[in-house]
Structure 1
Amino acid sequence: METAHKRYAEVVIDSTVSELDRPFHYAVPERLSGSVEVGSLVLVPFSNRLAMAYVVGFTASTDAPNLKEISRVVDEPPLFDFDSMRLCRWIADHYLCSMSQAFRLVMPPGRSRRVKQLVELTAGASGAVDAVTDPGGPAGSALETLLGAGGSMEMSALKSSMGAGPAGVGVAALEELGVAGRRFVLTRPAASPRSRLAVKLTDLAPGEDLPPLSPRQGDVVEHLRASGGLDSRSSLIAATKASSSTLKSLEAKGLVEISVEETLRRPRLTSGGEAPGTPTPNEEQAAAVARVVGRM
């Protein structure tokens, strides 16, 4: 049996393989003792690779021989607490899925399950340069590349720039000198913000003294007035059969402004500019919610 004074973590490997759907024990190294807690995402050596895992508990002793240590803690707040973990266990039991699949449901929005490694300077540029005694060696090359990237870059990009071997040696040397460190974070989705062209009436348009307008231009102004003074360019053209040149003419006359604005990908539709309210479930939905709450 391992000595009782050491701390051991129980982790669930992020995998859908049924044989892995159980806790595994890993030793918590002293350097990570303050950052590993229930709900933490960690990287552990598993089957000759680093695997992502969820910390679900701790024990002071274990009969498992030759335990490996947790390698890294992913730089994210804990995904769940004890109550959330109980809910995930209920989901796994009720819907016959693995614990790791249930844990993915509490993953922060906008996060993927891929982990990327960042290398960052922890000292100022001048201090880092002074600490490196061999500017032409791997540490010096890694430092020069990091400084060129603003002091932070992904390890994969550093390897592409320097080569995998020199990058690994260089970063290890910078870490030993205390001027750089590594962080592991969840990647964000690659999707870019969605935008649209919006057409807005200016302060001149609501008045009665408008400059002479063509029938189509008049239709555009009236449509915008009826729409609260703002509409998307595509909707406006579809509703009034106006052309792009019509809108540009109105913009030149100072009656409308055309700009790019970011839009939600799945907005909750409302009418009259009212704030969205809480949706009311129908009878079947309310009964389903009551059953779920009753089983929690």
Structure 2
Amino acid sequence: MYPIRAATSTDLDEVVDVLARLQAEPAHHIAYHGETAEEITAELTGMRPDWASGTLLATDSGGRVRGVLSVESDAEVGRAWLHGPYVDVPANHPAAAQLWHQTADALLERALRLPSLRGITDLELCGHRQHRLLADFAARHDFHTGRTSRVFVLTGAGLRAVLIRGAAEESTVDSAVRVLPDDPGLRAAVIALHERSFPGRTVTGRQLVDGSRGHCVVVLAGARGLIGYAAGYPQEGELYVDLVAVDPNRRSRGAGRALVRGLLRELAARHGARAQAAAVVALGNDASERMFTALGFTLHLELVSYRQVAGTG
């Protein structure tokens, strides 16, 4: 097992190098981070100004980084996300699986003592469906297997078509999509629809509408009030569609597709175009898969989440 220490700001380049190599392999891929060095740097440092304060490292006898675990927590929702554990086992190691698990266990044990996890009893981690080491790690530490999610992406001509469609091609529904205004009634309706559609989600309705988690929100409303909303944010190299919700009584009329198009255009206008757009859909949510597929999105990978909540089991 490798010794564990806290990360420092000078470790960033080596940490990013390790993560980029492991993210490229389905058997080691972890959610929450991107796949390129640029994406990983942006997301790692974006968790907090001092990214190292929530990051632990495992190092070998030569001081090289062999394991990484970063922690992100939200006291308001009482949950923390474990970005890892990543373990870089040397090629042809005679006890690779044992070394992976010993290092991952040590990283977790040290992480649970971080100040940011005081009072947090709900932990979540997530990785590629083919990451069997992570699945075994989760089971040993009483994390229950949660939902399987499918990541869909839109690139190239398909994305350009969404972003530059001319006004003459807009439907009445598309034209009605707008950025969430400073309207107390409409904001309350978005909060209510969000809480109904995504109970227990990592972002609350209040955080969504006040932008404290970085979301851009667009809405579609009619004479009878809110029809639906979409929310997302820019990431390194992509525009991310995080949430889409339409009133159950007003679905199957193109509202969801119009909201996604409106959101992507607003994100591109605010932050510049990106090489791709991405969205995560829970396995079994056939309606959302059909919606994104109709927009030109294609399946990229599948992720499995694991969750440990104190007092359950």
TM-score (norm: length of structure 2): 0.18
Report the TM-score when normalising by structure 1.
0.19
Structure ranking higher on relative contact order (CA contacts 8 Å, 6+ apart): 2
Structure with greater proportional strand content: 2
* Structure with the greater alpha carbon radius of gyration: 1
